[in-house]
């Protein structure tokens, strides 16, 4: 049995009276494309910072490819690449110089062939000689991805990598990351774009107030927690609401259901009550609905 790419055991972290992590247990297998989701303040960035050795937990154990992030920090960090949420960069170097310096942190020299490949895959080749100060926000974010990959780590953590990024870059980035995953890299993604997580991640963990509140495959989460929805546009909204509907911001009324056999009964009740049906639409379960339900349930 292979060791997990990431092992988190009973990890706690407090900042004064604030509990950022409250006994988190988690294992991520090698080669997974894994989603780590939660609202702001849930503990995602604290957990990532602890894995990267930037934050020391109050208790518990964290390992990267079997290396303890505290007692064996050098090897743990060598096996991990992190793309941070913030745009942190050195304004005095070109893109290529920055990547060479990053390689040097890991004792890697004469790395230009791999640097060229990473630059090409992230559409940064034409900016290789440009000073970091001159780059747009989207270009700087690409450089952060390149920095995380320059030492070819087996485990890659992407912390909100597409925040504020245009659609074209987002699609190109995901194509590259999918290929890295197919090549055997373990990918851990945090994102507020839940459709990204639903499309990309095979398994998902959800954090709330420093606690793990869900951990399952994406398909199982959709089956277990999400319901289908019937959305209706009616002449008399108040009638539909009185029948148990939920108002949406767009003026439509929404009814949840678990089986399509329930739709006919809902429509019959609307007709008998004189709601005046204009339009209707059926909605499939999605990760956003799962997320909202879980965050309100626990």
CA dist., res. 263 & res. 282, Å (int)? 9
Write the DSSP string, 37-96. E--TTSSHHHHHHHHTTSS--SEEEEEETTEETTTTHHHHHHTEEEE-SS----TTSBHH
Contacts of 82 (CB under 8 A, 6+ apart): 48, 51, 52, 148, 156, 157, 159
Kindly give, in sequence order, each residue whose CB lies less than 8 Å from that of residue 220, ignoring residues fewer than 6 positions away.
none
Across the chain, how many H-helices and E-strands are there?
A: 11, 14
Task: Grade residue 32 by pLDDT with cuts at 50, 70 and 90.
Answer: very high
**CATH architecture classification, 6-223:** 3-Layer(aba) Sandwich (3.40)
How far apart, in whole angstroms, are the C-alpha atoms of residue 141 and residue 147? Answer: 10
Other C-beta atoms closer than 10 Å to the C-beta of 287 total 23
- Which residue from 18, 6, 11 is spatially nearest to 59, judged by alpha carbons? 11
Q: What is the pLDDT of residues 48-87, one digit of tens each?
A: 999 999 999 999 999 999 999 999 999 999 999 998 877 7
Phi-psi region of 151 (alpha: psi -120 to 50; beta: other; left: phi over 0): alpha
Strands in 18-28's sheet, in edge-to-edge order, are 18-28, 6-15, 59-64, 67-68
Question: Are 159 and 84 in contact, with CB atoms under 8 Å apart?
Answer: yes
pLDDT > 70? residue 286 = no
- Which secondary structure element, helix H or strand E, spans residue 287, and what is its range? helix 287-297
Which residue has better confidence, 10 or 286?
A: 10
pLDDT for 241-257, tens place per residue? 888 888 876 778 888 77
Residue 46 near residue 21, CB atoms below 8 Å: yes
Q: Region 101-129: what's the mean pLDDT?
A: 89
Residue 56, CA distances (Å) to 17, 26, 59, 82 in order = 17, 17, 9, 17
Half-sphere exposure of 88 (CA within 13 A, CB side): 8
DSSP letter string over 12-27? EEEETTEEEEEEEEEE
Task: Please compute the mean of the pLDDT values over residues 170-175 and round it to a whole number.
Answer: 82
Q: Going by CATH, does the domain composed of 226-297 fall within 3.30.70?
A: yes
Span 179-228, pLDDT tens digits: 999 999 999 999 887 888 888 999 999 998 899 988 888 888 877 765 67
Domain ranges for the chain, please list them: 6-223, 226-297
- Cβ-based burial of 230 (10 A; exposed 0-12, middle 13-18, buried ≥19): buried
Using an 8 Å Cβ cutoff, are 53 and 8 in contact?
A: no
């Amino acid at each position: 049995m292979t060791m997990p790419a990431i092992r988190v055991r009973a990890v706690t972290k407090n900042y004064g009276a604030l509990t950022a992590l409250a006994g988190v247990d988690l294992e991520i297998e090698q080669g997974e494309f894994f989603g780590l989701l939660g609202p702001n303040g849930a503990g995602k960035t604290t957990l990532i910072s602890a894995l990267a050795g930037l934050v020391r937990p109050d208790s518990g154990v964290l390992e990267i490819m079997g290396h303890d992030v505290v007692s064996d920090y050098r090897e743990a960090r060598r096996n991990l690449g992190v793309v941070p949420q913030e745009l942190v960069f050195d304004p005095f170097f070109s893109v290529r110089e920055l990547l060479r310096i990053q390689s040097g942190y890991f004792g890697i020299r004469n790395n230009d062939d791999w640097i060229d490949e990473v630059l090409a895959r992230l559409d940064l080749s034409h900016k290789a000689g440009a000073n970091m100060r001159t780059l747009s926000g989207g270009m700087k974010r690409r450089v952060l991805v390149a920095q995380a990959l320059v030492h070819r780590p087996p485990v890659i953590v992407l912390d909100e990598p597409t925040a504020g990024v245009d659609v074209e870059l987002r699609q190109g980035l995901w194509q590259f990351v999918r290929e890295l995953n197919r090549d055997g890299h373990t990918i851990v993604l945090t994102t507020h774009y839940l459709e990204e997580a639903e499309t990309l991640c095979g398994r998902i963990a959800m954090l709330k107030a420093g606690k793990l509140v869900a951990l399952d495959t994406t398909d199982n989460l959709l089956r277990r927690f999400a319901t289908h929805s019937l959305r209706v546009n009616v002449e008399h909204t108040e009638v539909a609401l009185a029948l148990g509907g939920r108002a949406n911001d767009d003026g439509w009324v929404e009814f949840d259901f678990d089986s399509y056999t329930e739709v006919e009964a809902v429509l019959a009740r609307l007709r008998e009550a004189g709601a005046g049906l204009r339009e209707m639409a059926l909605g499939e379960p999605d990760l956003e609905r799962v997320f909202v339900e879980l965050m309100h349930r626990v």
